[in-house]
Amino acid sequence: MSLRNFFCPGSVAVIGAAREEGKVGRNIFDNIINSGYKGKLFPVNPKADKIHGIKCYHSVLDIPGDLDLAIIVIPVKFVLQVLEECSKKNTKWAIIISAGFKETGIEGAKRERQLIEKAKDYGIRILGPNCLGIIDTECPINATWSPHMPPRGKIGFITQSGALGTAILDWAITNKIGFSKFVSLGNKAGISENDLFNDWENDKDTEVITAYIEGITYGREFIRISSKVSKKKPIIVIKSGNTDAGARAVSSHTGTLAGSAKAYEAAFKQAGIIRANNTRDLFNYATAFSYQPLPKGKKVVIITNAGGPAIMAVDECDKSNIFLASLGKETINSLKEFLPEAANFYNPVDILGDALADKYKKTLEVVVKDNNIDAVVVLLTPQAMTQPYRTARAIVEVMENSGKSIPVLTSFMGGSEVKKAIKFLAENNIPNFDIPKEAIDTLKVMMEYTDWKSRKSFPIEDFNVDSRRVKKIFYQCQNEGRLKLGEIEAREILEAYDIRIPKAELACDIDEAKEIAGRIGYPLVLKIVSPDILHKTDVGGVKIGIDNEKELEGNYNQILFSASKYIPDANIRGILVQEFIKDKKETIIGMSEDPQFGPMIMFGLGGVYVEALKDVSFRIAPLSRQVAREMVEEIKTIKLLKGTRGEDPSDIDSIIEIILRVSQLVIDFPEILEMDINPLFVKKQGEGSIAGDVRIRIGG
């Protein structure tokens, strides 16, 4: 259902409109009037006959005709009753400003659950409770208790913190940042960021979607909706609360390294969300997106009247993987015609400290004709002869007449000397940044968004696997209360999903072990098999590189001895005699369950790389092949897999294949809570990968 009628309703009742100034109910009523709202407005207050000379209704039920939107600003104990009355007026929407719900504790949470149920019964969609309200600058309506109505613009802003919302509104008005819509989410009992993203995908007034979010409720839905909407409009999000709270019950490597912050990071990447670290970045990005076209590539040209700021800008380009465009010969020759000899005709184009507006103008005119450039950054410091305002005018004029769709960002640095110029630039949709760093940071984000938009989406593949076999194993384990699967069963599960494992057989005594060794051939690996031992290495339960029968015998006994020393009561099912994989690299593929987003897949290089460097990458399942490749390429140690110093490259394709199969496995079986394939032996290109060991923990 479109939210158009919610943002710009035909009729609004303020239930709890107060006569006393300063009260929230009065503020909202006043703000709606002052914002120029053109629909029908009904104050409701059992004790008032008139507010502002406007007839006040004692009950919602007294309002003539149907009611589109109810804004409820009354003590919490009356909210449910009023909601029922609203339903009798065929009310479609309710904004519940009132606090006293989930945010206050257990009792409040109960009240909120009732509210959600009732709203569903009545067919009323709610925003809040415990929120600031909404603003629609096009309608126009300011249905918040904040008197700040920002100017019209193309930015839609959602905030999960009402208090932050008030600061943003105040800031936006002071700095003349235009908004299309403003929504304070409150407790998110009804309308959530997902609904708003979905709605704003097709909202003609909103070109850039921004949000401050503390937590996401429906993670998978969030990824689905965002990845669709972000292809059409940039979504910029601040996600706060990134410290992982408290201890979680984890027993795998993946579980230890995962956590809510990693999950959000992965989800945002997959959803094409542009992440801002703070409100300054958020609005830097949002303004640039709403003012300027997207760059087509990564090549920037810098025009400056000051060397120092240009050097700093170049430093930032270097950090951000933005290239300095090589200007064409023709461009350089044209510049030489009018720039002084001491100028720099290459990039950054330094037109020197005494440059007047006209020199900026001519330079920009020449430069934007050059087809080698994807973006322009103009720097200016107010020196003795500088004309900031005229230069601003020149920039606007040149870009208007250029017929080119190239983003222009400026950094006019200084204070009062550049103030008028910056204001003019903003009025003409050219974003100015206090320091060159922020212009380049923003450009980087725009360039990455261009990449995202142009990226094709690939489908999730469906492998032909033997899921029935896995189902059986899990069923049996759950029945027996064994929730940490032993190696034998875990190996079977991998086999069922066509993930290669080393040849291996379980030996119950040393004679059997020798027999098996004869079949598999040396060198071998020996591993203890016991449901009570998860970290085999820690108890001396693994021996590698067994070269002959003598070594086999010695190591066999040693394993049994040390295992019994460490964990005397362990139920030992035997010793796995296993093929030793030669010429390989060790990696790890894991999965852990995130409360917000569901199964999350991890990849990294094995052993010390995982433990000491934490050099791993995460994505939320299910994964497309493209996303799986991305996560493999993302780790810092990828060079070790691609081969350094003439070494053979490893079989990266086979890693990706296994990641996809693990992704399918954990989606097929939500009972899997944690899983580690560690090590995953990767052989050289074309020779595949083999799961050396696997551990799986399932739910009961």
Binding to its own copies (CB under 8 A): which residues in 493-552?
A: 537-538
Q: Footprint of its own copies on residues 170-199 (CB under 8 A)?
A: 170-175
Sign of the CA dihedral running 26, 32, 38, 40: negative
Q: Which two tokens stand for residue 166?
A: 């008030």
CB 431 within 8 A of CB 292: yes
User: Three-state DSSP class for 258?
Assistant: coil
> Which residues lie below 8 Å from residue 131, measured CB to CB, with a gap of 6+?
95, 96, 97, 162, 184, 185, 186, 187
Closest to 150 (Cα-Cα) out of 186, 175, 185: 175
Cα–Cα distance measured from residue 101 to residue 28, given in angstroms and rounded to the nearest whole number:
20
- Interface segment toward its own copies; rule CB under 8 A; list 81-89, 392-400, 575-583, 605-613: 605-613
CB 675 within 8 A of CB 591: yes
**Residue 427, token pair as written in the block:** 């009025």
Task: Give SS3 for 106.
Answer: helix
* Placement of tokens 């934490």 in the chain: 614
Report the residue from 204, 456, 468, 639 that binds its own copies according to the rule CB under 8 A.
639
590: contact with its own copies by CB under 8 A:
no
Residue selected from 9, 16, 162, 190 as contacting its own copies according to rule CB under 8 A? 162
Q: Which residues contact 71 (CB under 8 A, 6 or more apart)?
A: 12, 13, 14, 15, 28, 94, 95, 97, 133, 143
Cα pseudo-dihedral 291, 294, 300, 306, rounded to 10: 10
Question: Is residue 381 close enough to count as binding its own copies by CB under 8 A?
Answer: yes
Size of the site for its own copies (CB under 8 A): 73
Tell me if 217 contacts its own copies by CB under 8 A.
Answer: no
Instruction: Check residue 358 for interaction with its own copies (CB under 8 A).
Output: no
Q: How far is the CB of 71 from its own copies (least distance, A)?
A: 15
CB nearer to its own copies: pick between 121 and 358: 358
Please tell me whether residue 280 binds its own copies under the rule CB under 8 A.
Answer: yes
For its own copies, which is the closer residue by CB, 146 or 206?
A: 146
Given the rule CB under 8 A, which of 165-173, 192-200, 451-459, 524-532 is the region that contacts its own copies? 165-173
Measured from the CB atom, the residue of 481 and 646 that comes closer to its own copies is: 646
Using rule CB under 8 A, residue 258 touches its own copies: no
Tell the smallest beta-carbon distance from residue 419 to its own copies (Å): 8
Site for its own copies in 312-341 (CB under 8 A): 312, 314-315, 318
Range 398-404, long-range pairs (CB < 8 A, 24+ positions): 398/361, 398/364, 398/365, 398/368, 399/364, 399/368, 399/430, 402/365, 402/368, 402/369, 404/368
Least Å from the CB of residue 611 to its own copies: 5
Asked if residue 585 lies in contact with residue 605, where contact means CB atoms within 8 angstroms, the answer is yes
Binding range to its own copies, per CB under 8 A, among 158-166, 199-207, 516-524, 556-564:
158-166
Q: Which two tokens stand for residue 270?
A: 């997959």
**Rounded least distance, CB 189 to its own copies, Å:** 18
Q: How near is the Cβ of 530 to its own copies at its closest, in Å?
A: 20
Binding of its own copies by 22 (CB under 8 A): yes
**290 vs 320, which CB is nearer to its own copies?**
320
Rule CB under 8 A: which of 412-471 touch its own copies? 413-419, 434-437
| From candidates 114, 227, 240, 429, binder to its own copies by CB under 8 A | 240
- Stretch in the footprint of its own copies (CB under 8 A) among 62-70, 119-127, 163-171, 542-550: 163-171
Q: What tokens appear for 532 in the block?
A: 């009570």
**Binding to its own copies, residues 32-91 (CB under 8 A):** none
156/382 with CB nearer its own copies = 382
Residues 477-496 that bind its own copies (CB under 8 A): none
Question: From the CB of 87, what's the least distance to its own copies, in Å?
Answer: 30
Q: Using only the alpha carbons of the chain, give its radius of gyration.
A: 32
CB of 104 to its own copies, least distance (A): 6
Nearest distance, CB of residue 44 and its own copies, angstroms: 20
Count of C-beta atoms within a 10 Å radius of residue 50:
11
Cα-flanking dihedrals φ and ψ of residue 321, to 5°? 55, 35
